[in-house]
């Protein structure tokens, strides 16, 4: 599969590719797109998926994905023919959005047509137009809404397509995304190779979070903190372990063995002496 290089890391635009990464290879990433039918929401995101640098480099090293850059093609000035084709496609997508919004508005009108009809009839009766009030029918109310519907392009939602819709070329990206010899990448790759779901741990002040299964179904069981050496200051040790206790997770320190490049893990648990 192909990963698109953006902001220094890999992005996934295809739904099938993302589901394969998540279900088969335990790569989670982060949904950063906007659902064009709902607008932006901090709790509901859509494609594309932004991968961490460790995830991107892992997929490349394992031969599971190819990283490509589309910047040269997508940023060059379009020809008049390509520009006209894009403008026609953009107008068609706006029209489809207007049709969807109009259909939704008509459905809402049909759902509440009795209340709307009652209000309009009462208004006509107060004006002394009893004949018009008696002749007012639900279909005429719905038709009036349809005739008065206007779609302002300033209120159109920005559509983020999944795979790029337009014709384009891509260049193979061969420069490493992150240092393969760094301790952080080696820890991530080692934990992943053990069959774990490993995600970014910034939210808990850690380097990684470890999940026993898909994060949609399970809470993280461990937080992983990378140390440059086995030595750690007492106050830092207490703060990290207490944080893991508050979050109901086990605290794991990862560091490099003195005799080589072997990664060593040390789990620290908070002990209550009163029990």
> What are the catalytic residues?
211, 219, 249
DSSP state of 162: S
Crossing angle for the helix pair 80-111 and 138-148, nearest 10 degrees?
150
Distance CA 46, CA 37 (A): 11
At 129 the three-state DSSP class reads coil
DSSP symbol at 90: H
**Assigned token pair, 164:** 């790029």
User: How far from chain centre, in Å, is Cα 151?
Assistant: 28
Q: How far is CA 113 from CA 104, 119, 129, 141, in A?
A: 14, 10, 20, 8
Q: How far is CA 266 from CA 229, 250, 254, 255, in A?
A: 12, 11, 6, 8
Are 240 and 207 contacting, i.e. CB atoms less than 8 angstroms apart?
no
């Amino acid at each position: 599969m192909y990963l698109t290089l953006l902001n220094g890391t890999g992005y996934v635009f295809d739904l099938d590719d993302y589901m394969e990464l998540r279900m088969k290879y335990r790569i989670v990433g982060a949904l950063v797109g906007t659902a064009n039918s709902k607008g932006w929401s901090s709790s509901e995101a859509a494609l594309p998926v932004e991968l961490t640098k460790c995830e991107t480099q892992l997929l490349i090293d394992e031969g599971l994905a190819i990283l490509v850059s589309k910047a040269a093609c997508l940023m060059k000035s379009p020809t008049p023919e390509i520009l006209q084709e894009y403008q026609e496609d953009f107008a068609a997508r706006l029209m489809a959005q207007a049709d969807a919004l109009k259909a939704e508005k008509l459905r809402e009108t049909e759902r509440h047509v009795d209340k709307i009809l009652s209000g309009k009839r009462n208004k006509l009766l107060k004006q002394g137009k009893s004949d018009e009030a008696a002749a007012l029918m639900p279909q005429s109310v719905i038709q009036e809404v349809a005739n008065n519907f206007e779609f302002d392009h300033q209120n159109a939602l920005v559509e983020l397509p999944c795979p790029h819709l337009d014709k384009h070329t891509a260049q193979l990206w061969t420069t490493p995304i992150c240092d393969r010899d760094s301790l952080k990448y080696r820890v991530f790759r080692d934990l992943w190779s053990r069959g774990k779901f490993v995600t970014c741990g910034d939210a808990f002040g850690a380097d990684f979070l470890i999940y026993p299964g898909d994060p949609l179904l399970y809470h993280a069981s461990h937080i992983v903190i990378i140390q440059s050496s086995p030595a750690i200051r007492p106050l830092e040790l207490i703060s990290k372990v207490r944080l893991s206790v508050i979050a109901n997770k086990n605290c794991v320190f990862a560091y490099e063995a003195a005799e080589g490049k072997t990664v060593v893990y040390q789990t620290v648990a908070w002990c209550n002496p009163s029990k």
